[in-house]
Structure 1
Amino acid sequence: MRWMRPLSEWYFDNAGYRKLGLRADDLIPEEDEIVQQALKRLSPKEAYDRVFRMRRAFQCSLSHQLLPKTEWTKTNDDYPYLQPIIREITAEQTEREDLESMIINKRKATPKGSSPNIESKH
């Protein structure tokens, strides 16, 4: 699998978004509700940096030019910042759905030391 790393780096370098100063997570479409929630959870600095990168890339696109090579996104700077938050929100929603789908059967009288029966709809 070591041969995959250079191949993936070559692919990401040639995808072009780094030449516009963008990071991979900047390319995630914002229309999804989960992505909207994730964007709201970004730190103020990360949110500002994202908007700056997007506007700068838009300007480059309008002028049909790339950034100077010194301003391209470097491989080690292209780490996921939005995907972990998206995974966290998805896990929270799954947990919420699981909790909402639980059925709790209460007994009329429970002896000391025992608890009510809990069943899941799944």
Structure 2
Amino acid sequence: MKRVLLYSIIIALVACNEKQMSHTETAKIVAESFYHDDKATLEKYTTPDIYANFITIQDLYSGEEEVNFEISEEQSNDQTAWVKFTTTFTDEPETFKLVKQDGQWKVTERSEGERPPF
């Protein structure tokens, strides 16, 4: 019985250690990993369809410069979020659509004709 209680406490502590990131933190990590050629992080925080798209064009933008990620607008509900931002590498703001999968925000591809809410 003591062993079961001990294992339960250990599992609870490990589960609490994993920080749930917000949609804006996730968007920043994806932008930085894209521009710094960090494919492992990029894959972790994107859905498979958008990851494949990012990898296709990543070589055009990779660099060691500071990204300077700045959010200009954001909107979210329980399962979907939108983050509009600028970086050092773009003249115009970009927008990420994020969805929650297994409790974690991931950047995903927009549906055809889908527009951001702002």
Q: Which has the higher strand share?
A: 2
Higher RCO (CA 8 Å, separation ≥ 6 residues): 1
TM-score normalised according to structure 2 size: 0.22
TM-score normalised according to structure 1 size: 0.22
